[in-house]
Amino acid sequence: MALKHVMINDIISDHSARMQNLKKYYPFFVLSETTFSQYKEGKYGFLDMGYITMASLRFLINENNFHEKDITYEEYESFMSELLRRDFDLDEPKEEEKQLILHIFDKLKNDGRAFEFRFYNPDTKSSQIARVKLIDSRIENGQVLYTITPEGIEFYLDTKEVKDESKINVSQLLLEKMITSNNFKGGIDVVKRINAQVIKLKAEKENVLKLLGMDIFEGNKAYTEYMDTIAKWFSEEQKLFAKNKALVDKAIKKAEFENNQTKEPDKTGEGGAKLLRSKALEEISSLENELKKTIYNHSQLIAETMELTQLADKIIGQAKLRKLRPVFDFRQSLTNIMKQDNPALMAHVVMPLFAPRIDKTFSIKSIDNMLTLKSEDKAKGEKVEKAVLDLDFMYEDELLDKKIGENFSKLFVQLLDQIKKWNKLSLKEYNGILEIKFGKEIYENRDYYSFLVHLAGKREYDMAAILKKQDTLLEEMVVANMSKDEKESYKDMAFTIEFNHVDGRPVEIELGALGEHPGEPDRFVVTDMNFERRLG
């Protein structure tokens, strides 16, 4: 009964963690099954999206991590065009090829959204959603740049397609990605995996040493392979550890600085903000301690590898001397007989044992082996710690969507309030009110311009209809973030939008000053709009 209880407990408690681990594979199979099934009536069904996905991830790893630069869509388009022509003999007109590559890229980044992997959590007896992205994007100097996500790197590495002699090197790349994206908790797990791999290599060194004492030929072969593997990544490892240690030190300084600053209370309140900053500082400190532990184990591995070199040279030298003496090697003879698959040759081994007056001797050299051989009771086991899944963890894209939704709702409610007061106002007047409430810093917030773009997507808004059904992303975000009092206050509001024109040309208005750096525009310019309340 006790064993059955342990089994059932493992099934229930470990299920959520296993599903979270499986989520990184989910996008690959979704892309493989659906990408070309409906596109152009299956015209490009012969293309293998699995191969295209893996090739795209390898391209991103190469550019983002090895060349340390983000890519533009034009660079990806050039890479994919070459791949389709080379590997699939695709010969389509340039315009159709561009549309196909755009379709592939949109599928890979899932139109900017995370892939959602649904699973049942028996602990909470509810359905949960795990989200994962393969490609992330950011805007810099008006240009969209793309990078591979930590989940994308981890998935690619798990497929064992990176041709590297050490898993530690590629895990270090993943760690760098985690630290850069401020995912310190995920970074701790990566460092623990690196540490386990270093410990595994140390244990492998002991196995090589034992094998050298038992079979000099097999031991020498294992020793050569082990040293080839170690030598290829020692120098690179030192650089990667130093780089990641510097990133962690920088993150600690930044977190300590933010923790000591006094900020205006946000939605969570000042206490909540400090708690979040304190938690982040705690995670960074834990990551630093794990990294220090790994660096220490790594330095020990280097020292023990040098010791292995000295011992191996000594053992191999002694074996060469013994080969020159008239000593019969029963083990090697037996190995040769097995290779020739001829049992009759055993007579040459057995017959001398039945001869009279056999002088049995004990080699003095064997005493050294007895003294240096470690007993099994001294072997140290590795402590296995059970990972605890943080169900309250939110991805960066989720936090960003939440913040954008709150900003959109504030701006929309402010617009409704002014229309309710004055019945009619222009964008210029609306901006003046925003300046009074939020300061000119509002013009440096990207969400303000994104809000205007979404708002201009419709010419008429009716709150009664919006509260019942949301047709656009803006409406969904506004309704989701409005309070009950705000919904009740503005439920009967409706207004129209018209662009302001003079002599057939749109009227443009200049916004607050921006820049402090050379080359930046002095001001932002937007098209003026008129908002008018619709009565009745």
Longest dimension (CA), the chain: 124
Residue 129 bridge partners (DSSP): 118
Q: Is residue 243 scored above 60 in pLDDT?
A: no
Burial class (CB in 10 A: 0-12, 13-18, 19+), 127: exposed
Residue with tokens 């959602």: 116
> Which residue, among 247, 99, 128, 132, has the nearest Cα to 182 in the 3D structure?
247
Considering the domain architecture, whether residues 209 and 316 belong to the same structural domain is answered as: yes
Considering the domain architecture, whether residues 309 and 336 belong to the same structural domain is answered as: no
- d(Cα 428, Cα 466) in Å, to the nearest integer? 26
> Which residue, among 394, 133, 123, has the nearest Cα to 279 in the 3D structure?
394
pLDDT-derived band at 535 (thresholds 50, 70, 90) equals confident
Q: Is residue 78 scored above 90 in pLDDT?
A: yes
**Which two tokens mark 99?**
């549309």
309, 326, 343 — which closes off a domain?
326
In this structure, the chain runs to a length of 536
- d(Cα 271, Cα 265) in Å, to the nearest integer? 8
Does residue 7 lie in a domain region?
Answer: no
Dihedral-angle region of residue 137 (phi above 0 means left; psi in -120 to 50 means alpha; beta otherwise): beta
Q: What is the mean pLDDT of residues 203-217?
A: 77
163, 183, 215 — which closes off a domain?
163
Q: How many domains does the chain have?
A: 4
Considering the domain architecture, whether residues 147 and 202 belong to the same structural domain is answered as: no
Tell me the per-residue pLDDT of 473-490, one tens digit each, with 9 for 90 and over.
889 888 999 998 888 988
- d(Cα 425, Cα 498) in Å, to the nearest integer? 11
Q: Which residues touch 84 (CB under 8 Å, ≥6 apart)?
A: 47, 90, 97, 100, 101
Q: For residues 426 and 495, is the Cβ–Cβ distance under 8 A?
A: no
Does residue 391 lie in a domain region?
Answer: no
Considering the domain architecture, whether residues 412 and 512 belong to the same structural domain is answered as: yes
Considering the domain architecture, whether residues 451 and 436 belong to the same structural domain is answered as: yes
Range of the domain at 342: 328-354
Considering the domain architecture, whether residues 290 and 347 belong to the same structural domain is answered as: no
290, 311, 326 — which closes off a domain?
326
- d(Cα 378, Cα 372) in Å, to the nearest integer? 13
Does residue 210 lie in a domain region?
Answer: yes
Considering the domain architecture, whether residues 125 and 23 belong to the same structural domain is answered as: yes
Q: Is residue 449 scored above 50 in pLDDT?
A: yes
Considering the domain architecture, whether residues 321 and 404 belong to the same structural domain is answered as: no
> Which residue, among 423, 428, 419, 408, has the nearest Cα to 527 in the 3D structure?
428
Does residue 178 lie in a domain region?
Answer: no
* pTM for the full predicted model: 0.40
Q: Write down the pLDDT at residue 76.
A: 92
> Which residue, among 160, 178, 130, 118, has the nearest Cα to 24 in the 3D structure?
130
Considering the domain architecture, whether residues 267 and 344 belong to the same structural domain is answered as: no
Residue 71 bridge partners (DSSP): 146
Does residue 276 lie in a domain region?
Answer: yes
Considering the domain architecture, whether residues 288 and 333 belong to the same structural domain is answered as: no
Report the share of the chain in percent with pLDDT over 90: 7
Does residue 359 lie in a domain region?
Answer: no
**Which two tokens mark 393?**
């963890």
- d(Cα 489, Cα 273) in Å, to the nearest integer? 30
Q: Write down the pLDDT at residue 174.
A: 58
Q: What is the dihedral of CA 266, 268, 272, 278, to 10 degrees?
A: -70
- d(Cα 108, Cα 147) in Å, to the nearest integer? 12
State the CB neighbour count (10 A cutoff) for residue 70: 19
Considering the domain architecture, whether residues 344 and 319 belong to the same structural domain is answered as: no
Q: For residues 19 and 119, is the Cβ–Cβ distance under 8 A?
A: yes
Tell me the per-residue pLDDT of 253-303, one tens digit each, with 9 for 90 and over.
665 665 555 444 454 445 555 555 566 666 667 767 776 776 677 667 777
- CA–CA distances in Å: residue 406 to residues 194, 267, 308, 395, 451: 40, 10, 61, 17, 11
Does residue 443 lie in a domain region?
Answer: yes
- d(Cα 314, Cα 368) in Å, to the nearest integer? 12
Considering the domain architecture, whether residues 20 and 155 belong to the same structural domain is answered as: yes
Does residue 146 lie in a domain region?
Answer: yes
